[in-house]
A and B are shown apart, each in its own frame.
Chain A
Amino acid sequence: MRKLVTMLLCVILAITQLAAQSRTVKGKVTDEKGNGVPQASVLVKGTTVGTTTLNDGTYSIAVPSTAKILVVSSLNFASQEITIGTKSEVNVFLQSNSQNLEEVVVVGYGTQKKTNSTASTVKIGGDKLSDKPFASIDQMLQGAAAGVQSTASTGQPGANQQIRIRGIGSFSLGASQPLFVIDGVIMNGGDLSNGNGGGFNINPSTNVLATLNSDDVESVSILKDAAATSIYGSRGGNGVILITTKSGKVGKTQFRLSTDLGINSVILPPKAGRPIRADDWFNLLKEGLTNNGASAATINTTMASYGYGNGVDIDWFDLITRKGTQQQVNLSASGGDAKTKFFLSGGYFKQQGTTLGTDLTRFTGNVKITHTATDRLSFTTKITVGDVVQNSALASNGPSGGGGFFGNPGYVSLVLRPTQNPYNADGTYNISSNNLGFPAHYNPLYVAANDKRYLKALSILGGETVEYKILSGLKFTSNLGIQYNANEEYQFNNQFHGDGSGSAGSALSIYTRNFLWSWYNQLDYHIDINRSKRFYADVKAGYEVTKNSRLQQQSAAQGFPPKLDLYSSENAATSTTGQQFSSDYAFTGAYSTASFSYDDRFNLYGSFRRDGSSRFGSNNPFGNFWSVGTSWNVSNENFLKSSTVISNLKLRASYGTNGNAEIGNYAWRPQYGFGYNYNGIAGGTFNVIGNTDLTWEQNKQTDIGIELGLFKNRVSITADYYKRTTNGSLLSQQLSRTTGFTGVINNLGNLQNKGIELSLTVIPVQTKNFSWTVNFNYSHNKNQVTKLPSGDQFNPQSGSYLLREGQDFYSYYTRAWAGVNPDTGSPQWYTDSTRSAVTTTFAAAKLFLVGKSASPTDFGSLGNTFTFKNFTCSFDFYYNYGNYVAENYFRFFTDGSFPTRGKYTFMLDRWQKKGDITNVPIYKYGDATNGATGSDRLFFKGDYVRLRNIQFGYQLSDKNVLAKLHLTALSFYVRGTNLWTKVYDPNATSDPEQGVQGFSNQSVAPSSSVTVGLNLGF
């Protein structure tokens, strides 16, 4: 110790002495192609002496005469240390990060050299996340990494994206989401509005990540295996998504302005699922009545009552959709000197949905300042503010949105007859209640024009990080983060037409506030074990506390004055609800990791965490989680070092335990609650059975991976095999309803996910002027329910699936459709799972697992990027295969059981006469055969390929031109998103991307967009 201090003193002395004398070093910093790298930082190692390169990459620096090493770094390049010796000209070649083995990966509570990592992680750079026409960053993760399923269940701008990392590990929908960590702080993710499946939602789906500007994000890292996630203990079980926001860079202040503008268009449903038009509808009506034995007179009267001959022929889908605008503007400033660095940004984002009444507008502001007070002490302050206004279409409860609400535009566009005229003769909206008007289902145009349904969300992320270097290699970090989120939701159902007409207009206001703080203190110790510079140990220990308090206020009112513009509930005559709810949770965790690396060849990693949570039952308040990982950089062995074929080869393996604690905040507590009033007296009862043994869901995960680079990494391959078993998954043990309860929550079920992941990057062509890069990734996952408490039971997410040991989690349980009897046109079902006999009686067909699941077996993406001189062209396909989508409202638009409603186009293929071979039964008015319900006739294959992204770009590189424009960079692009989709099943009635549950709920239809954008640097 004494030695160290003496040495340190000597160094300091030397520096101060020698700083007085100096000389000048000049040179040029270039990239692989020989182009100068502007704004690269050039520092004398161990000092604060530094400069930045000019636009042509040249620099000149006065260095102390004893300076030995220059450290050169720049964004997107690996930093280089160059020994200067006595040279006066030092040219530096920087290698871009993508091919660099010294790449740093972001891991839990820190970073790590990629070489030394033993974990399966994927890092997605900010360049892949900026300027996309998506409201939230999680939407951009679709196809971005193997093993990550990112899927939308609605086209509502700002909706929650469903993400599953390595399959389904929890029985409840919300609990299977990964953990979101922003700048080291564990956040509340997902839908923080009234949503998350509870009761009626004003906005069917909202997303807290939509308050974050993706242009402010430096990178997103996805942690997949135990070696990466176990450090998050009881919360890392379903994978972790680490979001790192941008920081300032040393150098001249850089401004960046990016803006784009575009048009969103609705993606039409497949042909079979579009509504039929008037002529066909009347033909069906007539045929249906005839088949039902109606007299000619009845037929004529009925036809007339629905406006036969009036000439009204409405394309409802066309009426409820529109072209939407897409726009964003982002401006940032980044810079700093050796002491202080800053990053400032502001952003505006506007997305107009393609369904009437849907849009999202966001303003963001962001400040991050890092100050190095002394050699030892530095601190970072960050404030990110996002303000979102989201207007939603009327839809039903649940995270998926959509549904059978009579004013839901998606639903009514199908259910309304093409013969219902939305307009009166004078051009006003038709809201009459006769058969030619809107007696049951509402006129969606009137509802969209006069109802309100919005979210105003304010989100603040604050962070304060202090780093103190106690001694060489020993660092103390204290990180305090807050997340404040206030969601104001409002709904006004107008008094004249729609859901509010019965109560003279009704309003519902919900305010939800979440305040989270999280604080960790941590020691990092980097040790050169035998001072050989070959054998290092990195030890980390910390303690973290996270606390969240949630408050919700609801108020409802009705009885509005007969004026549409006075929609605020203060105008209403009667206030019907005014209540407040609150709910808190807390976690504490002590954690530690140790990693050893020898000669950049052998790496060993271990982690341990002990977590406690208020969500765990009083009998089980604490849990321990651990992991071990190892990796071998074979390519650093002597026998491979000289290989011209293999440029990188790494083998890794890890095993560990972690958990998932997405449990209801007070779910374990047996409770006796009030609120069951009778004649004004507060009635109380046991309302929660509770379970004092309740605890986290335990994951055990094995991962084996290989990373291979060939031909100087022109080909790089990463492949992983994983097996993830989840034990004690929370399951409401369903009880016979005769018990008076629906179930008891317990750690009962086991799940298993096994799969392989493959990522491939190939650069088939790379010349000075032209390069071609291919990115491909593939994920295959097999999910199995491996243990259930007492035999088969319904999936808690929906009775459409049945949980059975050995079967996929989302296995559909229904009757098997056996087509249409060619002689009679009757619907047929198989009587049972043997599929040996058919019946035309619905009740005689048994329900069974029909061998179809909502989970895709395979998915991934294929991307190509071509660069020619200053032009780039890239396109990315996303593919998804092996799942089935269930049409939840099929029966309303199919067959004759609801004869007065609109019908799907495939109804035109109905059976009409003996011998017709078709899959669509006879059309009979008032049909009671149940042909359109409760069977796998309602399913279609979810296989599809989508052109997720196509982009043409141009980057101006002529320095003279740029200089004349007073710019440092200029580029523009045209981008198409979701422009093309191939749906493989001809029977598909809706877009196949319908969320992880695979239910088509007539939610807001998805959109495609075309945007043009401009980026300026100055």
Chain B
Amino acid sequence: MKKKILYITMLSSVMMMAVSCSKETLSPVPTTSISDANAFATTDRILGQVKNLYAGMRSGSFYGGRYIIYNDIRADEFINELTNVVTGYDVWNGTMNNSSTNSVVSLWAQAYFTINLCNVFLDGMAASGNTVVGSTLAANYNAEAKMVRAICYYSLLQLYARPYSDGAGSKPGLPLRLQGNTGSGNYDLARSTVAQVYQQVLDDLNFAETNLPLTYGSAAQLSNVTRGHKNTAIAFKTRVYLSMQKYTEATTEANKIVSATPPFTAATGVPFALQSDITKVFASPYITTESVLSMPFNGTTETPGGQNQLGYYYGQTGLNGGNGEYSLNTNGIIANAGWTATDKRRSLIYTATNGKKFVSKYPSVSPFTDYAPVMRYSEVLLNLAEAKVRTSNTVDAQAVALLNAVRNRSDASTIFTVASFATAADLIAAILTERRIEFLGEGLRAPDLARLALPIPAKGSIAAIPFSAQNYIWPISATELQLNKLMTDN
């Protein structure tokens, strides 16, 4: 019996050893990522994170495609061709609901995902990163994070909150997240008012203006177009103030980067200016001084992803192999008589073999890597023009000159003079028309209607949506209502 026990003991120990080494066995190391502890340890990793903030914003669900598309198609310039809810049919016809996955739910998540990237980055920089990169770069990087955060909040406001023009910002805005989240916890947070969120957007942009570099240098044109610098923050502020109908402030900001007389340029920092040929802005290499901020796509590794691409929605088989999701509304701005046939911007419209017209600003073929425009300098000029007219309520001469600058570079034959406009309202109408022509397919139409409390006009078989209607803005994502006990629906 003793022997038996001996056998068992010996065998047991042998067999344990034979297949043991369990410590090693139990720790396979992932090959795809590194430990979170060292994220702010080196300058490379910190710069990597800065890049990632923009990459978050560039997501196909956000500025890389769908944000721009949604703000176009929920307005009146486009007609849905394929009745596909995955590509915004419900956004187009105003029937999206809380659970509309591809629009209401996913854009909300992507914008806040990007906001959290900014917040985590700001926290990490404060904790250790600032000392790693030194004070100058730290200020630049923090400013970039705040600028991206500001753009995200501003963009969310355009879709998920009543416009500022409705009750001067008193309506429910967004939950304001300003701290990074890296673990679980109680995340119930109520909506701040629209005005409060706008104030945060302005605070962040002001910080950015102060701390961003003037320029990334003339040798770094790519960065000047795809990352924030001082003039980017200022330019974006003109858009924000216009949305708030704060025309004096909009004028002040715009004047920082628009010279008093033509040719209009930014005097300091990156020298914003209109290109003589608008089509150059929408063609490779996409890097021009007119591009205030663009979302870059490259080759095959940085792409907008399936069913997100501007060129896929607006392009057409015969143009670029696009899917022809949205054609231009024949009763929309393309019917405008004042938009002459020789206007260069008419060349950015493609007529398909079936006679339907499509926006051809994004002509590259699959994987559709045209840069997505966040803002162009012509908008700053028209923002300034409109703000000046609205503050002075006169036919402002500089406003006319700004309008001409945008019009004449594409259509030399139409020259506006002060005498062309009987009243300030006529001039404003002309500026707004110009915006519709200039920014067709760039996602400005719906926010322009909203800031002025205008109804969304009828299109095709879809009736007009009055300003007061519930579906004038988007509902809140169903998951948010479910998970954030303090959240309220629109």
Q: Tell me, yes or no, whether B34 is within 8 Å of chain A by CB.
A: yes
Complex alpha-carbon distance, A682 and B302, angstroms: 11
Complex alpha-carbon distance, A504 and B366, angstroms: 9
Contacts of B116 in A (CB 8 A): 739-741
Cβ–Cβ contact A545 & B112, under 8 A: no
Cβ–Cβ contact A678 & B31, under 8 A: no
Contacts of B218 in A (CB 8 A): none
- Given known A547-B25, A679-B226, contact A672–B35 (CB-CB < 8 A): yes
Cβ–Cβ contact A737 & B479, under 8 A: yes
In the complex, how many angstroms separate the beta carbon of B150 from the nearest chain A beta carbon?
Answer: 16
Complex alpha-carbon distance, A543 and B51, angstroms: 49
Complex alpha-carbon distance, A928 and B16, angstroms: 69
In the complex, how many angstroms separate the beta carbon of A682 from the nearest chain B beta carbon?
Answer: 6
Q: Tell me, yes or no, whether B127 is within 8 Å of chain A by CB.
A: no
Complex alpha-carbon distance, A543 and B25, angstroms: 14
Cβ–Cβ contact B108 & A737, under 8 A: yes
With beta carbons under 8 angstroms apart, the residue of B30, B99, B181, B367 that contacts A666 is: B30
Kindly supply a per-residue 1/0 record for chain B positions 31-67, scoring 1 wherever the CB is within 8 Å of any chain A CB and 0 otherwise: 1111110110000010111111011101000000000
Q: Tell me, yes or no, whether A586 is within 8 Å of chain B by CB.
A: yes
- Given known A670-B36, A736-B187, A736-B487, contact A678–B112 (CB-CB < 8 A): no
Contacts of A586 in B (CB 8 A): 25-26, 28
Cβ–Cβ contact A933 & B11, under 8 A: no
Residue ID in chain A nearest B188 by CB atoms? A736
- Given known A521-B18, A737-B477, A933-B97, contact A681–B33 (CB-CB < 8 A): no
Kindly supply a per-residue 1/0 record for chain B positions 6-22, scoring 1 wherever the CB is within 8 Å of any chain A CB and 0 otherwise: 01100110011011101
In the complex, how many angstroms separate the beta carbon of B481 from the nearest chain A beta carbon?
Answer: 10
Contacts of A576 in B (CB 8 A): 300, 303, 367
Flag the segment in B268-276, B316-324, B340-348, B386-394 that touches A: B316-324
Cβ–Cβ contact A683 & B95, under 8 A: no
With beta carbons under 8 angstroms apart, the residue of A433, A503, A590, A687 that contacts B321 is: A503
Complex alpha-carbon distance, A911 and B338, angstroms: 49
Residue ID in chain A nearest B22 by CB atoms? A588
Cβ–Cβ contact B189 & A736, under 8 A: yes
Cβ–Cβ contact A676 & B3, under 8 A: no
Complex alpha-carbon distance, A689 and B183, angstroms: 6
- Tally of contacts, chain A with chain B, CB under 8 A: 265
Cβ–Cβ contact B51 & A679, under 8 A: yes
- Given known A470-B7, A543-B19, A739-B187, contact A934–B26 (CB-CB < 8 A): no
Cβ–Cβ contact A543 & B16, under 8 A: yes
Contacts of A1 in B (CB 8 A): 1-4
- Given known A440-B83, A680-B298, A740-B120, contact A474–B4 (CB-CB < 8 A): yes
Kindly supply a per-residue 1/0 record for chain B positions 315-354, scoring 1 wherever the CB is within 8 Å of any chain A CB and 0 otherwise: 0010001110000000000000000000000000000001
Residue ID in chain A nearest B34 by CB atoms? A672
Contacts of A574 in B (CB 8 A): 300
Q: Tell me, yes or no, whether A861 is within 8 Å of chain B by CB.
A: no
Kindly supply a per-residue 1/0 record for chain A positions 566-593, scoring 1 wherever the CB is within 8 Å of any chain B CB and 0 otherwise: 0000000011110001111110101000
Residue ID in chain B nearest A434 by CB atoms? B354
Contacts of A525 in B (CB 8 A): 8
Residue ID in chain A nearest B3 by CB atoms? A1
Q: Tell me, yes or no, whether B113 is within 8 Å of chain A by CB.
A: yes
With beta carbons under 8 angstroms apart, the residue of A439, A476, A679 that contacts B81 is: A439
Flag the segment in A38-46, A108-116, A359-367, A895-903 that touches B: A895-903
With beta carbons under 8 angstroms apart, the residue of B28, B226, B480 that contacts A736 is: B480
Flag the segment in A15-23, A93-101, A792-800 that touches B: A792-800
- Given known A545-B19, A736-B187, contact A503–B365 (CB-CB < 8 A): yes
Contacts of B261 in A (CB 8 A): none
Residue ID in chain A nearest B36 by CB atoms? A670
Cβ–Cβ contact A672 & B51, under 8 A: no
Q: Tell me, yes or no, whether A639 is within 8 Å of chain B by CB.
A: no
Q: Tell me, yes or no, whether A390 is within 8 Å of chain B by CB.
A: no
Complex alpha-carbon distance, A504 and B109, angstroms: 33
Q: Tell me, yes or no, whether A267 is within 8 Å of chain B by CB.
A: no
For chain B, the bracket of interface size reads: 35 or more
Complex alpha-carbon distance, A898 and B34, angstroms: 48
CB within 8 Å of B: which A267-324 residues:
292
Cβ–Cβ contact B354 & A679, under 8 A: no
Q: Tell me, yes or no, whether B470 is within 8 Å of chain A by CB.
A: yes
In the complex, how many angstroms separate the beta carbon of A723 from the nearest chain B beta carbon?
Answer: 30
Q: Tell me, yes or no, whether B222 is within 8 Å of chain A by CB.
A: yes
CB within 8 Å of B: which A831-876 residues:
842-843
Kindly supply a per-residue 1/0 record for chain A positions 769-794, scoring 1 wherever the CB is within 8 Å of any chain B CB and 0 otherwise: 00000000000000000000010111
Complex alpha-carbon distance, A12 and B300, angstroms: 77
Cβ–Cβ contact A793 & B483, under 8 A: yes
Cβ–Cβ contact A737 & B112, under 8 A: yes
- Given known A519-B19, A741-B181, contact A678–B302 (CB-CB < 8 A): yes
In the complex, how many angstroms separate the beta carbon of B132 from the nearest chain A beta carbon?
Answer: 14
Cβ–Cβ contact A678 & B483, under 8 A: no
Residue ID in chain B nearest A800 by CB atoms? B99
Q: Tell me, yes or no, whether A669 is within 8 Å of chain B by CB.
A: yes
For chain A, the bracket of interface size reads: 35 or more
Complex alpha-carbon distance, A614 and B24, angstroms: 10
With beta carbons under 8 angstroms apart, the residue of A545, A581, A681, A735 that contacts B184 is: A735
With beta carbons under 8 angstroms apart, the residue of B81, B177, B186, B354 that contacts A738 is: B177
Q: Tell me, yes or no, whether B82 is within 8 Å of chain A by CB.
A: yes
Q: Tell me, yes or no, whether B93 is within 8 Å of chain A by CB.
A: yes
Residue ID in chain A nearest B174 by CB atoms? A738
Contacts of A60 in B (CB 8 A): none
With beta carbons under 8 angstroms apart, the residue of A542, A683, A733, A742 that contacts B48 is: A683
Contacts of A897 in B (CB 8 A): 95
Cβ–Cβ contact B83 & A900, under 8 A: yes
Q: Tell me, yes or no, whether A926 is within 8 Å of chain B by CB.
A: yes
- Given known A1-B2, A792-B482, contact A687–B33 (CB-CB < 8 A): yes
Complex alpha-carbon distance, A503 and B320, angstroms: 9
- Given known A545-B22, A930-B95, contact A739–B181 (CB-CB < 8 A): yes
- Given known A735-B187, A737-B109, A739-B181, contact A898–B83 (CB-CB < 8 A): yes
Cβ–Cβ contact A671 & B36, under 8 A: yes
Complex alpha-carbon distance, A734 and B93, angstroms: 31
Most B-side CB within 10 Å, residue of A504, A681, A738: A738
Q: Tell me, yes or no, whether A690 is within 8 Å of chain B by CB.
A: yes
Complex alpha-carbon distance, A577 and B7, angstroms: 58
Residue ID in chain A nearest B124 by CB atoms? A686
- Given known A1-B4, A739-B116, contact A934–B36 (CB-CB < 8 A): no
Q: Tell me, yes or no, whether A253 is within 8 Å of chain B by CB.
A: no
Q: Tell me, yes or no, whether A688 is within 8 Å of chain B by CB.
A: yes
In the complex, how many angstroms separate the beta carbon of B355 from the nearest chain A beta carbon?
Answer: 11
In the complex, how many angstroms separate the beta carbon of B158 from the nearest chain A beta carbon?
Answer: 17
Residue ID in chain B nearest A440 by CB atoms? B82
Cβ–Cβ contact B97 & A621, under 8 A: no
Contacts of A736 in B (CB 8 A): 175, 187-189, 480, 483-484, 487
With beta carbons under 8 angstroms apart, the residue of B19, B47, B177, B302 that contacts A521 is: B19
In the complex, how many angstroms separate the beta carbon of A433 from the nearest chain B beta carbon?
Answer: 7
A-B contact list, 28 entries, CB within 8 Å: A1-B3, A474-B4, A501-B321, A503-B321, A522-B15, A582-B32, A588-B20, A588-B22, A614-B28, A665-B28, A669-B33, A672-B34, A672-B35, A672-B39, A677-B51, A678-B54, A678-B55, A678-B226, A679-B222, A681-B51, A683-B52, A685-B56, A686-B120, A735-B187, A739-B116, A794-B479, A799-B479, A900-B83
Other contacts beyond A671-B30, A737-B112: 15, CB < 8 A = A433-B317, A440-B81, A501-B321, A584-B28, A588-B20, A677-B51, A680-B302, A683-B48, A683-B49, A684-B39, A738-B115, A738-B177, A739-B181, A740-B113, A746-B184
| Those 4 A-B pairs whose CB atoms lie nearest each other, nearest first | A740-B116, A521-B15, A683-B52, A503-B366
